[in-house]
Structure 1
Amino acid sequence: MALTTQTMTDEQRKSVAIEYLKAFDNGGVTSAGGSILDLFADDAQVFFPKWGLANGKDQIGKLFTDVGGTLKSIVHHYAHFNWVFSGSDTVICEGTSHGEHRDWKIQRVYIYLDPDYAGRDTARYPWLNQD
């Protein structure tokens, strides 16, 4: 008997990523009622800023407990996500979420906005002067 493997389609990989994010929105519980950790391989890795790299389900569970313990709620904005697929094993999801920390203090903010609304910062960016 020959060993066969199936490659997941982009939509199948996207559905796993969405299930993961929705489980976060639902306090770590998947749509099937299982743990968010059920979505991970035993040797998976997760990096989270200010926490570091978690190796394996035990450390990933610790990471999620630590980070989740600071949150009162979180909601991802699925309708506005951008998806990028590369090869058969890379899925990139770019999007936004909102939530509430238990201590009522902002923990981290990334702003991807150019504050030069009028386009006048041409001294540092000469290509903006070109007609």
Structure 2
Amino acid sequence: MSSTATAELDEQRISIVRRAFELIDAGDPALLELYTDDVELYFPKFGFGRGKEDMAEFAQRLWADLSALEHDIDGLDIMVAGDRIIVEGREWGVTSDGRRWPDQRVSTGRFCNVFTFRGTLISSVRIYVDPDFTSSHEEKVRQLHREAK
């Protein structure tokens, strides 16, 4: 593939990743159209999933405790490494019982996602984030947070 074609594919994939975050924030099931049928998923506490059914189950489980989720799409730090798009960013939201996060004390809303592509479809997404959005896992906060003691 020529360097021009590679650059164009990279830009197309970056646009797809940005669109994925828009669809995630909207809770739009059209997100599944961006994935291969055998897409692989990793998310802390959920573990590993494979296929669109597992992706849909993950979304259902995540949204069961959220009433709002938003990513700073304009502020994403995006890196390209071959077929991978690595994204660092910030997110915030509201739980279903009305708690806003991050708290900026323990929870900072930072995440890193690694998207792997097959052509222009996402074949893998690994999400690295602390799923304790509201810092409610007190035992671990007390154990690990430098100012919580």
Length-normalised TM-score, structure 1? 0.68
Alignment: residue pair count: 100
Q: Which has the larger radius of gyration?
A: 1
The DSSP-based 3-state class of the residue aligned with 1:41 is strand
1:22-101 to structure 2, matched below 5 A, reads: 22-29=22-29, 35-87=30-82, 89-101=83-95
Partner of 2:12: 12
Contact map agreement 2:25 2:68 (CA 8 A) in 1: yes
Greater relative CO, 1 or 2 (CA 8 Å, sep 6+): 2
More helix by share: 2
User: 2-side partners of 1:39 and 1:69: how far apart?
Assistant: 22
Whether the 8 Å CA contact 2:79–2:85 is kept in 1: the answer is yes
TM-score, normalization by structure 2:
0.60
Alpha-carbon distance in structure 1 between the residues aligned to 2:49 and 2:59: 10
The percentage of counterpart residues that share the same residue type is 27
> Alpha-carbon deviation of 1:108?
1.6
What is the one-letter code of the residue matched to 2:97? D
Query: Deviation per CA, 1:105-126, whole angstroms, max 9, x where unpaired?
Result: 565259xxxx8xxxxxxxxxxx
SS in 2 for 1:9: helix
Instruction: Please state how far the C-alpha of 1:54 moved relative to its aligned partner.
Output: 1.1
Question: Equivalent residue for 1:102?
Answer: 96
Conservation of the 8 A alpha-carbon contact between 2:80 and 2:86: yes
Distance 1:103 1:52 in 2: 25
> Structure 1 or 2: larger strand share?
2
Partner of 1:127: none
CA RMSD after TM alignment: 2.2
Unaligned runs of 5+ residues in structure 1 are 1-5, 30-34, 116-131
Specify the code of the residue in structure 2 equivalent to 1:13: R
Does the 8 Å CA contact 2:21/2:73 hold for their aligned counterparts?
no
